[in-house]
């Protein structure tokens, strides 16, 4: 980047010379603080790829093997940084492949910008090669895939659109934005300067509702906090912890946001999501006041809208969320406060606590239930609970854990203790959208973005092969301390579990026919080892940690061990008993 353009990019004080719009787009990304983009190259945005070459000392483009993997990597980038993750794909098939990552970012409230190449302007509306109307396909809405879909028709307005995309992705409830780039627009020249770095405008809850919240806490006997969502800062998470300590409040974390609150803390009560500890589920139902901070209170966190009955819960409900559109959408809460998560913890901390509260024993027993849930009867020959506890013991504190969708993730969520964001930033990358294949690309992104940190991906056999080709991306771009633990039970476990429960004796379509995972990993340049017994895992994992290069550990699990709490055999017995009654 020339000095003249660099000054204009950084300050906007000078009018840069005319240059190709594809280059201007890359300059705009640099101005937003972006140093890494993910994508799959396409002829529809060759001018942008040329811009990445021009400014290669400032920004890098990670060429992935499939657009779904690239979009997952960008989504993980957004989670890790709190800034929009960046993905580039070509039109038509590229966009449809990438839509899975876009949907994940929407449901997880992750800031992200997806750039899609488009047919040239003079070919629009003719169903040209790979032409799609992305505003129709991905258009915004309460149940859409993006907060905003824009199409740039003028090179002179390209910096304006990029700045708006970043602002939109960051404001209120964070989320994904789509910018569509006609091929001919990208080759036009413009002297438009890029705009300054976008920063979110934070909202602080109003004083009156905060006073009402304090009064509700003072009247409570069994309060419970559910924290999660995106947009938290280290300072706000620390303030949330001090608020909980001041009021002795038990805190649970929403589904796959377990790193919002330090799991080692004596007030931590566990994760409120799939496979919830039955004691914790009962506690949420028995609470007389639920304070939900940052979470959407979606289907997974509420256990199918049963822990909190929709639309009017039995418990008093206070909902604090950054998005005005989220408040009152599902639940008619007793009190609703709109607040950015960057401010929410600090606002709550300011509530003056009494010298004593009547629920100290309630909070202590909540943590005791969580601790008891870390212990389970041993399973032979391979105990995934013991495996995850070994991972917890040997892996560094700042390890990033990733996973996609499947029953195997229950062991990770139950037995690994996540440190709060204030210690090491995000340490959990997991999709609340239930997208299979998320974990490995997220792990690759984390390893490339934070090469000094250990990254552990836990994947099922079905999950890994959704995006397993991104092992090549890890190798090609020099990923280091990356370990993928593949749990292989030869079946789509979650579907098999539901079939056994709902259609006993009529299993269909859920069997898997797997490759030699170790041979596959080695073909991609990874190290690999197979583990069949619990005792063999610790030395294999220790060796993987010491290797300093991508390593796959193939764990063979009996399909009967279907969740952390039950077996297929037990499910069959229960189904038989139900049939006998009818």
- Would you say the C-alpha torsion 561, 301, 404, 527 has a positive or negative sign? negative
pLDDT at residue number 9:
52
Question: Cβ(28)–Cβ(197) under 8 Å?
Answer: no
Query: pLDDT averaged over consecutive 10-residue blocks of the chain (582 residues)?
Result: 50 77 98 98 96 98 98 98 98 95 96 93 77 81 83 97 98 96 96 96 94 98 98 96 98 96 97 94 98 94 94 97 94 97 97 97 98 92 96 96 94 93 91 94 98 97 96 97 96 89 89 95 98 97 96 94 88 84 79
In sequence order, what are the beta bridge partners of 491? 511
CATH of domain 3-190: 3.40.50.970
Question: Cβ(37)–Cβ(52) under 8 Å?
Answer: yes
Decide: residue 575, CB within 10 A, 0-12 exposed, 13-18 middle, 19+ buried.
middle
Check: CATH 3.40.1050.10 for 384-578?
no
pLDDT at residue number 7:
43
- How far, CA to CA in Å, does 286 sit from each of 111, 225, 275, 290, 459? 35, 13, 18, 10, 35
Listed residue (300, 260, 564) closest to 433, CA to CA: 300
Cα angle: 301, vertex 260, 315; to 5 degrees: 40
Place of tokens 């924290």: 227
What is the C-alpha to C-alpha distance for residues 576 and 31, in angstroms, rounded to an integer? Answer: 63
Residue ranges per structural domain of the chain: 3-190, 207-373, 384-578
Question: Cβ(272)–Cβ(261) under 8 Å?
Answer: no
Listed residue (244, 256, 258) closest to 291, CA to CA: 244
* DSSP H or E stretch at residue 572: helix 568-581
What is the C-alpha to C-alpha distance for residues 356 and 344, in angstroms, rounded to an integer? Answer: 23
pLDDT at residue number 476:
97
Q: Do domains 207-373 and 384-578 have the same CATH topology?
A: yes
* DSSP H or E stretch at residue 219: helix 207-219
Sheet holding 112-118, edge to edge: 60-63, 36-39, 85-89, 112-118, 176-182, 148-151
What is the C-alpha to C-alpha distance for residues 80 and 110, in angstroms, rounded to an integer? Answer: 10
pTM of the model as a whole: 0.95
For 96, residues 6+ apart whose C-beta sits below 8 A from its C-beta are 132
Listed residue (81, 121, 84, 116) closest to 98, CA to CA: 116
CB atoms within 10 A of CB 568: 22
DSSP state of 194: P
Rounded to 5 degrees, φ, ψ at 208 are: -60, -55
Query: Residue 152 is encoded by which pair of tokens?
Result: 């740039």
What is the C-alpha to C-alpha distance for residues 538 and 521, in angstroms, rounded to an integer? Answer: 20
Listed residue (389, 557, 437) closest to 75, CA to CA: 437
pLDDT at residue number 443:
98
Strands 551-556, 482-488: pairing kind: parallel
What is the C-alpha to C-alpha distance for residues 442 and 111, in angstroms, rounded to an integer? Answer: 15
pLDDT at residue number 3:
40
Listed residue (272, 247, 234) closest to 414, CA to CA: 272
Rounded to 5 degrees, φ, ψ at 530 are: -105, 140
Question: Cβ(427)–Cβ(419) under 8 Å?
Answer: yes
* Superfamily covering domain 207-373: TPP-binding domain (3.40.50.1220)
Burial code of 459-468, b = ≥16 C-beta within 10 A, e = fewer? bbbbbbbbbb
SS (H, E, C) 281-303: HHHHHHCCEEEEECCCCCCCCCC
pLDDT at residue number 141:
62
Which stretches of 16-174 are DSSP H helices? 21-31, 46-54, 67-81, 93-108, 134-137, 158-170
């Amino acid at each position: 980047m020339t000095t003249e353009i660099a000054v204009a990019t950084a300050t906007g004080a000078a009018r840069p010379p005319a240059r190709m719009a594809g280059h201007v787009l890359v300059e705009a990304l640099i101005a937003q603080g972006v140093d890494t983009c993910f994508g799959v190259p396409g002829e529809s945005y060759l001018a942008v790829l040329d811009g990445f070459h021009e400014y290669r000392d400032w920004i890098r483009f990670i060429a992935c093997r499939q657009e779904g993997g690239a979009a997952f990597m960008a989504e993980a980038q957004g989670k890790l940084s709190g800034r929009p993750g960046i993905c580039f794909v070509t039109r038509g098939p590229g966009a449809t492949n990438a839509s899975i990552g876009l949907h994940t970012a929407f449901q997880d409230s992750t800031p992200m910008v997806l750039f899609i190449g488009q047919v040239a302007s003079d070919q629009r509306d003719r169903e040209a090669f790979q032409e799609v109307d992305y505003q129709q396909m991905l258009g915004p809405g309460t149940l859409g895939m993006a907060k905003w879909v824009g199409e740039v028709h003028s090179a002179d307005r390209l910096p304006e659109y990029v700045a708006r995309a970043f602002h939109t992705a960051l404001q209120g409830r964070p989320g994904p934005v789509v910018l569509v780039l006609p091929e001919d627009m990208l080759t036009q020249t413009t002297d438009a300067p890029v705009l300054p770095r976008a920063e979110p405008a934070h909202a602080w809850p109003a004083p009156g509702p905060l006073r009402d919240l304090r009064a509700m806490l003072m009247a409570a006997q069994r309060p419970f906090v559910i924290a999660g969502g995106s947009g938290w800062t280290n300072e706000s998470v620390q303030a949330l912890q001090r608020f909980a300590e001041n009021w002795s409040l038990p805190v649970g974390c929403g589904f796959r946001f377990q790193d919002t609150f330090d799991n080692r803390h004596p007030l931590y009560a566990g994760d409120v999501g799939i496979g919830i500890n039955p004691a914790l589920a009962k506690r949420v139902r028995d609470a007389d006041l639920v304070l939900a901070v940052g979470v959407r209170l979606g289907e997974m966190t509420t256990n199918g809208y049963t822990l909190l009955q929709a639309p009017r819960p039995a418990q008093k409900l206070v909902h604090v969320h950054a998005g005005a559109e989220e408040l009152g959408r599902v639940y008619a809460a007793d009190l609703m406060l709109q607040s950015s998560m960057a401010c929410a913890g600090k606002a709550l901390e300011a509530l003056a606590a009494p010298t004593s509260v009547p629920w100290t024993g309630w909070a202590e027993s909540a943590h005791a239930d969580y601790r008891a849930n870390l212990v389970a009867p041993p399973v032979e020959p391979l105990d995934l609970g013991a495996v995850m506890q070994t991972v917890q013991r040997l892996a560094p504190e700042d390890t990033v854990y990733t996973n996609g969708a499947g029953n195997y993730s229950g062991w990770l969520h139950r037995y690994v203790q996540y440190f709060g964001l204030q210690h090491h930033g995000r340490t959990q990358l997991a999709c609340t959208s239930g997208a299979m294949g998320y974990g490995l690309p997220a792990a690759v992104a984390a390893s490339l973005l934070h090469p000094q940190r250990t990254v552990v991906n836990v994947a099922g056999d079905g999950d890994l092969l959704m995006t397993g080709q991104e092992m090549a991306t890890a190798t090609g771009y020099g990923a280091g301390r990356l370990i993928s633990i593949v749990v292989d039970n030869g079946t789509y476990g979650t579907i098999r579990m539901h079939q056994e429960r709902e259609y006993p004796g009529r299993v269909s379509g859920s069997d898997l026919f797997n490759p030699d995972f170790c041979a596959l990993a080695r073909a991609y340049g990874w190290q690999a080892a197979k583990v069949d017994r619990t005792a063999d895992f610790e030395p294999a994992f220790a060796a993987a940690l010491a290797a300093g290069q991508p390593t796959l550990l193939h764990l063979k699990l009996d399909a009967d061990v279907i969740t952390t709490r039950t077996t297929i055999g037990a499910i069959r017995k229960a189904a038989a008993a139900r049939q006998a009654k009818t």
